[in-house]
Structure 1
Amino acid sequence: MTVSPDPRQNHLLAALPDEPWQRWLPQLELVQLPLGKVIYESGGTLSHVYFPTTAIVSLLYVMENSASAEIAVVGSEGVIGIALFMGGGSTPSRAVVQSAGTGFRLSAQTIKDDFSRSGPVMRLMLRYTQALITQMAQTAVCNRHHSLDQQLCRWLLLSLDRLTGNELTMTQELIANMLGVRREGVTEAALKLQRAGLISYVRGHIAVLDRPGLERRTCECYAVVKNEYNRLLPSKIAS
């Protein structure tokens, strides 16, 4: 028997108090998020926010020469489109599905109306935004000061935290685009992790074999981001 996707697989939706949840529930629209789907482009006007449930979405900054690098990753813990309720309406980043799955979307006007009430929705979304800003800042520091091996470990762990299993479907070319580095560098870093028995990589499928070992090998950036999400996003926000 097929189980219908549950919006409360998304942690933000699960943390909503009953009043806004009842308002939102009839308006939440199930969406399929296939690998590579662009949810919004840099500078585009946002019409909806997206709450991933089983998909993972990368936020990328794209340069004028089309080079790009990932500035954050969002999964079931978060929401895509914070510019809507922060007052911007558009953003210089691009949102692309990194791992296929499902999510739910909500109209821009609905979340803006609830945010403007200065109640639990506003507090929840501001806490999430602070956690996301921490991830963006830590990513910038990591890319500047830490080795590619450490960056790859951080990226794998952050992605795993947003999946139910221990496998990712991702080519080395796509990982290189996410990290903003050459593919050869990712190949070398992945081989090091594979030789150490931490991962297995076969034809675009990455399986993490030793997560504790991967955590020991990464830099402090992963723990900083994870701890901030845990601190700021309790399972239930008081109404």
Structure 2
Amino acid sequence: MHRPENTLLQQLSPAARQQLLDHCKPFELVLSAELSVRGQPLEHAHFPVEGFLSLVIDVDSHPPLEVGMVGAEAMLGSELILGLAPTPWRALVQGAGSSWRIGARQLRAQVQAIPELEALLQSCLLARLHQQTLAAACQRYHPIAPRLARWLLMSQDRSRSECFHVTQEFMALMLGVRRAGVTEAASHFQDSGLITYHRGELTVRDRHALEAQACSCYAADKQIYQRLMTAKR
């Protein structure tokens, strides 16, 4: 059976990867757990192996809104290369799994010791900034159904499974819309045979058709990652 890995770590040379992992510890990602506190510096960085995280921001009395998603393709904490600064968001475990966890100060020390790690984290941070800019435009201009299709595809990519757990209430919160809008869009996808949904368990039945329903931001998001994370450093 294929052993899951963090794709970001796999881009390091074997020696550099082992040096970094010597300072990391396995960590269980428990569904709905919060890995950071808004307004406080990150205490740990995480390299997800299985499962994924949502970066959510709270504005005044409004419900939380997702501004980023992190799975095994990336990491939580790339901004630590810039210093120990308060974060504007909370990191919430959206899909249970596991990660490699390292203390913030330890990571910064390893960045100094491993030049290729610094270059990798710079690329990771830049990719996230580009993706968050795209997400802001998507949030403003695209209708609910294409955005939901995009979000479901992003969640499936990071869960590495056709099936994952999610509630309609959570989908509405992550998209920043009313639950009725998500219910209508999800019902249309289900009636069309794209997904099945029952008691919080969602299964993608026709990924190709779901991709056709997604807004252009899904493909653009992947292109950003491909361009910035696979370029020679």
Class of the TM-score when normalised by the shorter of the 2 chains:
over 0.9
Check conservation: 2:81, 2:122, Cα contact below 8 A.
no
In structure 1, how many angstroms separate the alpha carbons of the residues matched to 2:212 and 2:18? 43
1:170 aligns with 2:166: yes
Instruction: Specify the alignment match of 2:36 in structure 1.
Output: 40
Instruction: Specify the alignment match of 1:205 in structure 2.
Output: 201
In structure 1, how many angstroms separate the alpha carbons of the residues matched to 2:90 and 2:77? 10
SS at match of 2:68: strand
Check conservation: 2:42, 2:84, Cα contact below 8 A.
no
Instruction: Specify the alignment match of 2:179 in structure 1.
Output: 183
Structure 2: tracts of 5 or more residues without a match = none
Structure 1 residue 121: deviation in Å?
0.9
- What pairs up with 1:26-105 in 2 under 5 angstroms? 26-65=22-61, 67-105=63-101
In structure 1, how many angstroms separate the alpha carbons of the residues matched to 2:23 and 2:114? 21
Structure 1 residue 237: deviation in Å?
6.4
Of 14, 25, 43, which aligns to 1:18?
14
Of 110, 127, 133, which aligns to 1:131?
127
State the superposition RMSD in angstroms.
Answer: 2.0
Listed one character per residue, the Cα deviations across residues 197-232 of structure 1 (whole Å, up to 9, x for unaligned) are 111111101111111101111111000101111222
Identity in percent: 36
Check conservation: 2:47, 2:72, Cα contact below 8 A.
yes
SS at match of 2:159: coil
Range with greater deviation from structure 2 (130-139 or 207-216): 130-139
Structure 1 residue 93: deviation in Å?
0.6
- Shift of the 116–26 alpha-carbon distance from structure 1 to 2, 3 Å rule, reads closer
User: Across the two proteins, how many residue pairs are aligned to each other?
Assistant: 233
Of 151, 159, 178, which aligns to 2:155?
159
Structure 1 residue 41: deviation in Å?
1.4
One-letter amino acid of the counterpart of residue 198, structure 1: L
Taking structure 1 as the reference length, the TM-score comes to 0.91
Structure 1 residue 118: deviation in Å?
7.7
Structure 1: tracts of 5 or more residues without a match = none
Taking structure 2 as the reference length, the TM-score comes to 0.93
Listed one character per residue, the Cα deviations across residues 33-74 of structure 1 (whole Å, up to 9, x for unaligned) are 111000001112222101111111000111121521100100
One-letter amino acid of the counterpart of residue 13, structure 1: L
- Shift of the 202–34 alpha-carbon distance from structure 1 to 2, 3 Å rule, reads same
Listed one character per residue, the Cα deviations across residues 180-206 of structure 1 (whole Å, up to 9, x for unaligned) are 111111111100111111111111011
SS at match of 1:97: strand
